[in-house]
Amino acid sequence: MAKGEKKSGKKLTKAGRRFFQIILIAALCVAGYSGYQLFAGIKEYRDSQNAYAELAAAVETVPEASAAAEDPLPDGVTRADFTKLADINPDVSGWLTLPDSEIDYPIVQGTDNEYYLEHLFDGTVNHSGCIFIDYTNSPGFTDRNTVMYAHHMRNGSMFADVEKYREQDWYDGHKVLYLQTPDAIYQLEPFAGILTDGAAGYVQISFESDEAFNAYVQDKIDQSTFTSAVTVSSEDQIVTLSTCRYDAYNGRYALFCKLTKIA
- Report how far residue 61's alpha carbon sits from residue 50's, in angstroms, rounded to the nearest whole number: 19
Amino acid type, 43: K
Which positions are catalytic? Answer: 151, 244
Output the CA–CA distances (angstroms, integers) from residue 11 to 7, 19, 239, in the order listed: 7, 12, 72
